Amino acid sequence: MKLIDKEGYEYFEIRINKAVIVFFTAKKDLNFYIASESGKQNLELLKQWFNLEEVGCLNQIHSDIVHDHSGEVLQGDALITHRENIGIGVFTADCVPIILYDKSKNVIAAVHSGWKGTFDRICEKTIKKMMSDYGSEAGDIVVYIGPHIGSCCYEVSKELIDSFHSSFDLQAAEIAEEAESQHLNLQRYIIKQCINFGINNNNIFTMDICTFCCEQHEMYSYRKDNKKAGRMFSMVYLQD
Ligand SMILES: [Zn+2]
């Protein structure tokens, strides 16, 4: 993983086979909030920066809806494609951005998973669609979990913790830890979804950056900055 400076903006880049994964930070106020003019312009700019034909995104609604990239901005929270030179990505400010890559069939996916999407298993549903529609096999899929609000800073209601505990299979120690602290560990549930579908633990990589308390990099955090928070973009594309 490399940290790249682009005209004062900043992103993490991971290159693996034909896939390039990009996690933007909020440095120099780079904002992809799609409802704003500057957000739209910044998305447009990515075509030049990365030499892409299109950059696909969604009108995100905290759902478990997974789409194939079509060029249209649909309602949903995960995008899949196997086409080259097409960027697909998700906007986040605390929610979890997840990038999936099938190294063998060259299929990529970008997933937006906040607590609702995590609870509704959107990551699992994306893997399922990669398998059924693109012939992906679990052993070929690598997973990158980008910056999001860590359990360090994500205190939630007891009711929410309880509903996660009754819906997911957890170890006693995991249950005790969350019940006591009342801090939800979204990443844990996303990793569980991947492992449930046969993805190897060694093929799951986490950035371990908390959007709320990270001091080393600038991050947008909705919980910290509320309506003032911008949106980061996490993107993946295939290129020869
Ligand atoms: Zn934190």
How many angstroms separate the alpha carbon of residue 164 from the centre of ligand 1? 20
Average of per-residue pLDDT values in the chain = 97
Phi-psi region of 106 (alpha: psi -120 to 50; beta: other; left: phi over 0): left
Residue 154 Cα, ligand 1 centroid: separation in angstroms?
7
- Tokens for 73? 């901005």
Q: Tell me, what's the pLDDT at 16?
A: 97
Is pTM, for the whole model, over 0.85? yes
pLDDT at position 128 over 90: yes
Distance 228 CA to ligand 1 centre (A): 19
Task: Report DSSP letters for 110-164, one per residue.
Answer: EEEE-HHHHHTTHHHHHHHHHHHHH---GGGEEEEE-SB--TTT-B--HHHHHHH
Q: Distance from the CA of 187 to the center of ligand 1, in angstroms?
A: 13
What gap in Å lies between CA 48 and CA 142, rounded to an integer? Answer: 27
pLDDT digits (tens, 9 = 90+) for 209-218: 999 999 999 9
Q: 87 alpha carbon to ligand 1 midpoint, in Å?
A: 29
**pLDDT per residue as tens digits for the range 52-93:** 999 999 999 999 999 999 999 999 999 999 999 999 999 999
Say whether pLDDT at 228 is over 90. no
- Percentage of the chain modeled with pLDDT above 70: 100
pLDDT value at 227 more than 90: no
End-to-end Cα distance, the chain: 19
How many A from CA of 205 to the centre of ligand 1?
Answer: 18
219's torsion region: left (phi>0), alpha (psi -120 to 50) or beta?
A: beta
- Cα(102) to centroid of ligand 1, in Å? 30
Report CA(215)–ligand 1 centroid distance (Å). 10
User: What pLDDT digit, counting tens, does each position of 137-192 carry?
Assistant: 999 999 999 999 999 999 999 999 999 999 999 999 999 999 999 999 999 999 99
Burial letters for 202-237: b for 16+ Cβ neighbours within 10 Å, e otherwise? ebbbbbebbbbebeebebbbbebbeeebbbbbbbbb
Exposure class string for 110-125: b at 16+ Cβ within 10 A, else e: bbbbbbebbbbbbbbb
Half-sphere exposure of 7 (CA within 13 A, CB side): 6
